[in-house]
Amino acid sequence: MTPSECANCQRLQAQLKQAEARIAALEGELRRGHRQAAPFSRDRRKAEPKPPGRRPGQGTFRHREKPPEHTIQQTLEVPLETCTHCGGPLQDQASHEQLQVDLPKVQPVVTRFVTHSGYCPGCQKRVHSRHPDQVSEATGAAGVSIGPRAKALAADLKHRLGIPYRKIGELYKSAFGLEVTAGGLCQAEERLAEKAKPVYEELVAAIRSAAAVYADETGWRIGVLSAWLWVFTSQKVTVYTISPRRSHEVVVEVLGKQFAGVLVSDCFLAYDHKGLREWLKQKCFAHFLRELAKLEGEKTKGAVRFPRALAQVLREALALREEKGKLDEASFKVRLQEVERKLDALIAERRRFSDPDNARFAKRLRKQRPHLLRFLEMEGVEATNNRAERALRPGVIVRKTGGCNKEDRGARTHAVLASILVTLKQQGREAQEYLSSVLTAQGGPPKLLSTQAFDTS
């Protein structure tokens, strides 16, 4: 075989390996598309996976604690006089104690409100008395309504946990003996969202003052039309909005033109619009590392060196953030400059790439270079937008179980109630109590956030 034939054979072998890797990747994508139970599973298993269970230092294992004596409502003793097998006499008898904690049988509490009305000649209108616990003044055919706690629980089940209205009705009937229709729950929550609008505006004002906001979006539908569910979340506040647009205008509408915090997101074009050019940003490292791992798996020979080296530099940056508290300012600056030097050398414009995928990735990082290491420069900024992706999960569950929304008012209801419910969870507050107070409030709903929520955290 001549040298030219040998070189040609090596070239064909390299092309064959690349084609096989590409086919394997496409087959993996095809399998994930058909396998709904595990659409995000990895094709390659880790060589040394972590063992399951609690990690060391993440808490101690405890048995269920014994309830206090005053909480025991009844004591049932089961005597034993003879052997349960042969009926013979017993010797060396002993007594044993077991405590069983169960749910009580729940029955609906029916309250009759007797109100009064009268005509006022001065105002020239009829006025009614109203009890603070009433959620409605309706009488006659509409004089039977669902109470505030039942409505609040239904809102939490639907908009945070993703249980459809019809199944909530079945749960209420089987567990509580309360009959309610899916349509009734839907109408009740539309009224609740209308009363809670000032609370939603309060959350929007709070998210605009946050030092770091994590944003993401996912597909949605309103009737037969395409829409997008957006999430903007911080450590203390979460705001959802549903819009037919997937553009930077939605970001500006929620965060405001004068947003002074750091916007943490992926590299979707809406976040890089010229209208947001002056904003401080941090691009998600998790997205970069996933794409680099994919490139490393697909490429061969020299083409694999770039994604491997770049991933190593990004991991060094993440490790430096973990060590920041242990380093003095001078040492930290030296380490930071070394990371920046390595990163700039890898993605330098003068560098020539033989692989087009590597060239495109380097070009993208050059574009995002000012927004790559913001998390090392500013406190309270995370390197990924995982916080926003986690906040989208309840919406994804609602989309799968409830089929999004049929009308615009349903979309507004979901955005308002989901924002309030997720924020309540972040604040460590009880959803039923707060939403009940919103339903029974006379002069406007109570505030959800304390003044501390409007700081720069």
426, two tokens: 């972040």
The closest alpha carbon to 99, from 135, 79, 69, 128, belongs to 69
User: Are 284 and 371 in contact, with CB atoms under 8 Å apart?
Assistant: no
C-alpha 7 chain-centroid distance: 53
321, two tokens: 């953030």
The secondary structure element, H or E, covering residue 264 is: strand 262-265
pLDDT by 10s per residue, the chain, length 457? 677 777 788 888 888 888 888 888 787 777 666 655 555 566 567 778 888 877 777 667 678 888 999 999 999 999 999 999 998 999 999 999 999 999 888 888 899 999 999 999 988 999 989 888 888 888 888 888 889 999 999 999 999 999 999 999 999 999 999 999 999 999 999 999 999 999 999 999 999 999 999 999 999 999 999 999 999 999 999 999 999 999 999 999 999 999 999 999 999 999 999 999 999 999 999 999 999 999 988 888 889 999 999 999 999 999 999 999 899 999 999 999 999 999 999 999 999 999 999 999 999 999 999 999 999 999 889 999 999 999 999 999 999 988 889 999 999 999 999 999 999 999 999 999 999 999 998 888 999 987 555 544 4
Q: Return d(Cα 341, Cα 337) in angstroms, integer.
A: 6
C-alpha 244 chain-centroid distance: 21
Work out the number of other CB atoms within 10 angstroms of the CB of residue 13. Answer: 11
Work out the number of other CB atoms within 10 angstroms of the CB of residue 435. Answer: 28
C-alpha 320 chain-centroid distance: 27
379, two tokens: 């406190």
Q: What are phi and psi of 351, to 5 degrees?
A: -75, 140
User: 343-346 long-range contacts, Cβ below 8 Å, gap at least 24?
Assistant: 343/310, 343/313, 343/317, 343/369, 343/372, 343/373, 344/369, 346/306, 346/309, 346/310, 346/313
User: Are 237 and 391 in contact, with CB atoms under 8 Å apart?
Assistant: no
Query: Whole-model pTM above 0.85?
Result: no
Q: List for the chain the helix, strand, coil content (%; round to 5).
A: 50, 10, 40
Q: Where are the domains of the chain?
A: 197-257+393-446, 285-377
Crossing angle of the two packed helices 148-159 and 182-195, in degrees rounded to 10 = 90
The dihedral sign for the CA sequence 136, 141, 144, 148? negative
Q: Return d(Cα 447, Cα 428) in angstroms, integer.
A: 15
Strands (E), 174-224: 212-222
Q: What is the pLDDT of residues 267-317, one digit of tens each?
A: 999 999 999 999 999 999 999 999 999 998 888 888 999 999 999 999 999
